[in-house]
Structure 1
Amino acid sequence: MNASLQGDFKINGLSLRSFVNLSPLEAEEVRRWRNHPEIRRFMYNDREIDSIEHIQFIESLRESSHSGYWVVHEENRPLGTLSLTRFNPLHHHAFLGIYANPFDSTKGRGKRLMEALLALSFSHFGLHTLKLEVMEENERAITLYETMGFVREGCWRDYIFKEGRYRSILLMGILNETL
């Protein structure tokens, strides 16, 4: 089951291309997205990632049995990225990551990305539970997650220190049978 964490997929009319299968130009495009201020501000690590570090991260995924990262395209338009981390085949759960292409303002990108991630998680990988962590002030993401059926399961108060103050992290989850 884990070997396919590095595979490419077609789901709901979208193409999911594993980071490990990206060309150098595609990998650089993903790094540009990740370094965009609107993406970085909601990351635990909000510093800019250099190209060497990014390549090393992608190379580390080749050996990972617990993490998968994908770039998602609709036709030839890049919508954003998805990830499953802390993938646990014994307990049938994983944590998700998602961000939309910050250079594309098409409405509905987040929902399309989430629909693909839910289908990948529950239909392809057979997960029972999908979890996420989100900064409490990321209201747009929280609204999307709740619209998709995620529920708040807890809060890590003052969990990270950014920009001179502590920030709380909401824990959210969805069960396969919820859908």
Structure 2
Amino acid sequence: MMTIATTQPKLLTGSRVYLRPINGEDAGMYYEHLYVEETRRLTGTHKYATKEQISRYIDAKSQDASSVLLLIALQESDEVIGDIALQDIDTINRSAGIRIAISYEQHQGQGYGQEAMQLLLEYGFGVLNLQRIELEVFTYNPRAAHVYEKLGFVREGIKRKALYYHHQYHDVITMSMLADEYRAKYGISEL
């Protein structure tokens, strides 16, 4: 396990975690996180990449206006524990997808992911003025589905046998949250 503690600018700050931009110096650490087997399973990651490909991916993301890729770090130690992204940002329809990965088991189930999601939802609905944020979660990850529902996401449907992983097909749950649902859940009034 490779953990890197760095002092980087904090884009979004919570009580226990903060979200910061990813940069070229993070390529080695991001590469290590990509190969944690249980995290790969929970995120349905099939693709393998070299460190050079990861570096190019990070560079491309910094130029991509349709996504926001951030690292999740602990407030107390600056240790990076995962990543989170708004992706496929559609400025006409004001929608985006959201995804998250907490890389190591010792950081999972601690509420860090929930706090990171709240920070990025606030950014998406508040700063980017999105109307809809959606996600997908696999039926074999009920813990994540439960957290998403606690956050205010609504189940929209099931994509049957949409993921092939470890010699089996799995269903994918689609969920979303609308801006008015977000404001009602978190007590935020419109201006």
How does the TM-score come out when normalised to structure 2? 0.80
Q: Name the amino acid aligned to 1:11.
A: T
The superposition leaves residues 74-129 of structure 1 with CA deviations (integer Å, 9 ceiling, x where unpaired) of 32233421101110111111000101131643721121111111111111111111
The superposition leaves residues 30-82 of structure 1 with CA deviations (integer Å, 9 ceiling, x where unpaired) of 22122101110123333443212211211221331211210122322334211
**The residue matched to 1:62 in structure 2 has which SS?**
helix
Per-residue deviation at 1:8?
6.2
- In the alignment, which residue of structure 2 is the partner of 1:116? 119
Q: Name the amino acid aligned to 2:36.
A: H
The superposition leaves residues 115-174 of structure 1 with CA deviations (integer Å, 9 ceiling, x where unpaired) of 111111111111111100111111111011011010110111011222111111110001
How does the TM-score come out when normalised to structure 1? 0.85
- In the alignment, which residue of structure 2 is the partner of 1:101? 103
Provide runs of 4+ in structure 1 moved above 6 Å: none
How far apart are the structure 1 equivalents of 2:164 and 2:74? 36
Change (3 A) 1:145 1:73: same
Change (3 A) 1:122 1:168: same
The superposition leaves residues 7-30 of structure 1 with CA deviations (integer Å, 9 ceiling, x where unpaired) of 9623335542222xx242x22212
- In the alignment, which residue of structure 1 is the partner of 2:61? 61
- In the alignment, which residue of structure 1 is the partner of 2:189? none
Change (3 A) 1:133 1:89: same
- In the alignment, which residue of structure 2 is the partner of 1:131? 134
- In the alignment, which residue of structure 2 is the partner of 1:144? 147
How far apart are the structure 2 equivalents of 1:43 and 1:74? 21
State the Cα RMSD in Å: 2.1
Cα contact 1:79–1:113 (8 A) shared by 2: no
- In the alignment, which residue of structure 2 is the partner of 1:12? 14
Instruction: Point out where structure 2 has 5 or more consecutive residues left out of the alignment.
Output: 1-8, 183-191
Identity %: 22
Cα contact 1:11–1:119 (8 A) shared by 2: no
Asked if residue 158 in structure 1 is aligned to residue 136 in structure 2, the reply is no
